[in-house]
Structure 1
């Protein structure tokens, strides 16, 4: 079998006008050209990989606004974990916000993974991890 490499992660959104600015502003991703598919969406560059936002008015299965790091999620890796934390805090994200608040952060600086991790939710309740994995 040929060696496989990850090309993109596809994320369902009910509202592209909320999700697109979230991923661009919070993570600094840049929109790239996308074919004219029959379903609305956007493609974003993430290093050599891509994030594909796909509009589905029905949304996904996720209805619980809590951050559950054991739920389906994807992760960005950074070599400046504390810099990302400071960027998120400057955008209003905080650890002390109540469960369900759209700007709540879950930060684990020392845990089983042996590298720092943080979790937040996008406008459609998709869980996003940012970590300092080697």
Structure 2
């Protein structure tokens, strides 16, 4: 049997690397990491302080998503410190979202799309909105 220690990284496909890097740096506040000199374009980001990473890979194909946010579709989930602050930040950035402060999951969730329509869930330990 395998003994899994942790998630090392998640990879997402993007079509415009500079646009995607701007989103992940400026909207999500992730720190870009040095990346090996692969023969294809991409970028790596640190996620939190536990060594997990997000890898962006440039892929010229189309996304599978044609419509808005579908929370049942595959997605990347990131834990935020404050639900309230995350909502305020997304609003200040003009990012559309699907907020679920009291979902059945037992923790508050916010769903957004990146520029390539990858679904990202932001969630928190508690719902700190009024």
Normalised to the residue count of structure 2, the TM-score between the two structures is 0.89
TM-score if structure 1 supplies the norm length?
0.86
> Is 1:117 paired with 2:109?
yes
Unaligned runs of 5+ in 2: none
Where in structure 1 do 4 or more consecutive aligned residues deviate above 6 Å? Answer: none
- Partner Cα separation in structure 2 for residue 58 and residue 15 of structure 1: 11
Matching of residues 1-134 of structure 1 within 5 Å: 1-47=2-48, 48-62=51-65, 64-93=66-95, 104-133=96-125
C-alpha change, 1:60 and 1:86, in structure 2 (3 Å) is: same
Partners of 2:68 and 2:116 in 1: CA distance: 12
- Structure 1 residue 79, shift from structure 2 partner: 2.0
RMSD: 1.3
Give the number of aligned pairs: 123
Unaligned stretches of 5+ residues in structure 1: 94-103
Which string of whole-angstrom CA distances, capped at 9 and with x for unpartnered residues, describes residues 19-68 of structure 1? 01001011100111000011100001112211100001114323x13100
